[in-house]
Structure 1
């Protein structure tokens, strides 16, 4: 793979995101802290040592997400300098929504559900809802600009976004209906079906976001960002 432009940003983001999910899941299962079959993502980052790994990787992922989202914002800003394909306000709102999603990741990684569950749940809701809204807005922007992404790539983003939207609703609704706060389930509990549906859909939303950012690799090959330093001398 050719690493032109700054496509390393979404590649690192996708790698970190996937690593955060998979590594914590494997460690938590090996420690006997969660079910093998679709625990909540947060459940795999509840107890040490996986909670320490989860908090660290979630923070690094959030910072990388901020950098990627800002780079995407600057790309669209540059593309729309001469032709108003997308209103600047739309691009700015997308940036704000994306940054709120990253804030949600930080909250989830910092406040474990067994310590401050309500704060943790607010962070999780903020992340997933804002992430899906961000995908919707960026899919709209992709169709409006059509600068580098082919029509097939735009359609791919639309499909991924649709899957995330459909999975988000049962994720939230079923999670609200589940009153039990247990982490390990036997499968005989009354609310197990709701828990399983919510957990499966949560993983679908999470990996939809991962695959969505993977489509940025194509875009980010087309441009670079530079930092300009100016020294102001005072008399």
Structure 2
């Protein structure tokens, strides 16, 4: 059996591969059509103009679904492993909410381009990156709380390193973005897709975009750490019938039906 056939390990793998493909395909399309510069454009800039924005939006919507599924499976896994530890239960629920809101932000970023609705686009980015970073932080705390009985120390340290990487990238991006959009470099910076080395704020622009790509890579790395965890988990669907027919609402004794969801492994 291949590693991606074990449990639900294909889920975080598919999330990372599909998201990377969305960024790469939209980047290649935007570069080919000369819609953006090859040197480190914003990720969302590669999905601003047609036709790449159609590809970018559609693929990121699928990414949001895959991310939500991965986050939910992780939530159920932690819940099953620690059914009576109140601190872990609270953190686990917080992580679920943060993760789902981050997925919502990803949908907003994908469907509202910065050149059309800048406020909506930025709000979506704050949800996706900001709350996504908090989700990573919560999961790292959970990894610490669950070691060594459930998690190994290596997993915790890897996730902590990725969280620190994400935090450094986020601070760099926020600081440089605040300086870049302060108005000192012109009013057209928000809508600008093409940059020349002679332009004012070019260095800040490169640092900001590099930090954004770096932060995205830290997210990819974090989700990849789920692969080993997901190899030992499967989900089942339990159907509980409340009547003998679809229109019978009277209570009756009907056997439950259990079927596998997504995986046949335990």
- TM-score, normalising length: structure 1: 0.96
Task: Structure 2 unaligned segments of length 5 or more: list them.
Answer: 182-188, 244-248, 251-266
Equivalence for 2:211: 201
Check whether the contact 2:83–2:89 (CA below 8 A) recurs between aligned residues: no
CA RMSD of aligned residues (A): 1.3
Check whether the contact 2:88–2:145 (CA below 8 A) recurs between aligned residues: no
Q: Secondary structure at the match of 1:227?
A: strand
Equivalence for 1:156: 158
1:42, 1:217 → 2: CA distance? Answer: 27
Check whether the contact 1:28–1:44 (CA below 8 A) recurs between aligned residues: yes
Q: Does 1:34 align with 2:36?
A: yes
**1:34 offset after TM fit, Å?**
0.8
Asked which structure has the greater CA Rg, the reply is: 2
Task: Structure 1 unaligned segments of length 5 or more: list them.
Answer: none
Spell out the pairing of 1:179-194 with structure 2 (5 A cutoff).
Answer: 179=181, 180-181=189-190, 182-194=192-204
Q: Which segments of structure 1 move beyond 6 Å, counting only runs of 4 or more?
A: none
Equivalence for 1:58: 60
Q: Does 1:108 align with 2:109?
A: yes
**1:85 offset after TM fit, Å?**
7.7
2:49, 2:14 → 1: CA distance? Answer: 26
2:138, 2:80 → 1: CA distance? Answer: 17
**1:29 offset after TM fit, Å?**
0.8
Q: Secondary structure at the match of 1:184?
A: coil
Q: Greater relative contact order: 1 or 2 (C-alpha under 8 angstroms, separation 6 or more)?
A: 1
Check whether the contact 1:157–1:212 (CA below 8 A) recurs between aligned residues: yes
Per residue, is there more helix in 1 or in 2?
A: 1
Equivalence for 2:223: 213
**1:232 offset after TM fit, Å?**
1.3
Equivalence for 1:46: 48
Equivalence for 1:130: 131
**1:173 offset after TM fit, Å?**
2.2
Q: Secondary structure at the match of 2:235?
A: coil
Q: Secondary structure at the match of 1:190?
A: coil
1:143, 1:17 → 2: CA distance? Answer: 28
Task: Show CA shifts across 1:28-60 (max 9, x none).
Answer: 111111111110000000011110000001100
Q: Secondary structure at the match of 1:81?
A: coil
Equivalence for 1:94: 95
